[in-house]
Amino acid sequence: MSKRVLTTESGAPVADNQNSASAGAGGPLLLQDQHLLEKLARFNRERIPERVVHARGSGAYGRFEVTDDVTGFTHADFLNAIGKRTEVFVRFSTVADSLGGADAVRDPRGFAVKFYTEEGNYDLVGNNTPVFFIKDPIKFPDFIHSQKRDPFTGKQEPDNVWDFWAHAPEATHQVTWLMGDRGIPASYRHMNGYGSHTYQWTNAEGEAFFVKYHFKTDQGIRCLSAEQGAEQAGKDPNSHQTDLLQAIERGVHPSWTLYVQIMPAAEAANFRFNPFDLTKVWPHSDYPLQRVGRLVLDRNPDNVFAEVEQAAFSPNNFVPGIGPSPDKMLQGRLFAYADAHRYRLGVNHTQLAVNAPKATTAQNYGRDGLMASNAQGRHAKNYEPNSYDGPVETGRPLSAPLAVSGHTGTHEAPLHTKDDDFYQAGELYRLMSQEEKSRLIANIAGGLSQVSREDVIAKNLAHFHAADPEYGKRVEEAVRALRED
């Protein structure tokens, strides 16, 4: 069997891939050596800008299967029948560190699911925590700057981390999650995933519901202590990637059961706290979990760069029956995610294999741009409406309209009767066992005690005192003890 011929990018055969062309046996190299110049030029351009957040990631393909009837709440086609299966791609990630960071670190984890539905791709972009640090997207760049490497020292600084949190009392709930036992998952397989935001479902009759997504791991929750995490990160910085890859390769397919909480839209306005506040959870006693289906991952990508690094998730990729809510953080991300991908990957990133629809075909009037492959043929027009049988609008909105009122301008979110930045953080603390509380206190004190300014420490301590008097007292004593050593 003859071997395939190595060629240049233009398809010409390569005579010698071991030696560069030169002026004589020992002379300088020649500019005419197309193969050499092409290889070096392409090598210089192999990397693209990494994600500012969620840079370090892993991913896999699989399927989502509906197990329960939810047609009374949404007319989304991929959820319309028990037993219906939809292909998915899932990307897991750490949030704050760069592409070269370790997996086993104390950090939230991204949990993004791309459903390749028959009505287009639906991207559900969430985390492994049901809440987040802030509730307004205008604070997001500042928050991430405080968590990333300092411009002067080039490393993450406790002063920056805790100074931001000192000025963001709404972060207390997420800080309690992050510093608790679930702050370092043992693997991507052993953690839950959450949509985190509030979304809207609309049924066939036009009734609107607000929903929160919960992917519960079928493998069980497993986490690492701070000491175990440090040891794991030193032994294998790629520990979560290794675990996911090897599990799927040996036929151990990780799975999650999807549940939703469902709130009739009419109940949102008078709920005791703002249901669209990303720093809060909906109590299960108010809105119990309802099972929807099962997510299974069973195939590894063939090329991590092409399929994981270039995977582009955007929360504004909705399908009929699903839409946004007034969640301010979600509203900001509807723009920011897609814009980040246009910057990193180009305006035609949706044509890449991992991002393109699989169960349907994209048909629109987008043309040209870098790496365009959407010429459409000589008779296709790039405007609409037209007289040439081009694709047309349906006139059917994807979701129900959101009611709006009032004046334009910058507004704080309207207060509900029980809106509070600290109550749910205290509830989470009080749910913990004594051993869990002790580990939480140690994790918080370990970072807060390194802060150089006493006023920043005091502001953070006030947040923990407000969440729960015992919580605040124990953190304060632990910080004092570490600073006196």
Helix H or strand E encompassing 65: strand 57-66
Q: What is the 3-state secondary structure (H, E, C) of 299-358?
A: ECCCCHHHHHHCCCCCCCCCCCCEECCCCHHHHHHHHHHHHHHHHHHCCCHHHCCCCCCC
Active-site hit among 35, 54, 75, 240: 54
Look up residue 441 and give its amino acid: I
Q: Which of 121, 127, 300, 317 is catalytic?
A: 127
64 three-state secondary structure: strand
**Largest pairwise CA distance in the chain:** 85
Query: From the CA atom positions of the chain, what is the Rg in Å?
Result: 25
127 part of the active site: yes
Render 181-232 in DSSP notation, one character per residue: GGGSBS-STTS-EE--S-EEEE-TT--EEEEEEEEEETT---B--HHHHHHH
Best CA proximity match to 262, nearest among 409, 37, 79: 79
Lookup result for tokens 């670190």: 105
CA dihedral over 134, 137, 139, 141, signed as positive or negative: positive
Mark whether 54 is an active-site residue.
Answer: yes
The catalytic site residues sit at 54, 127
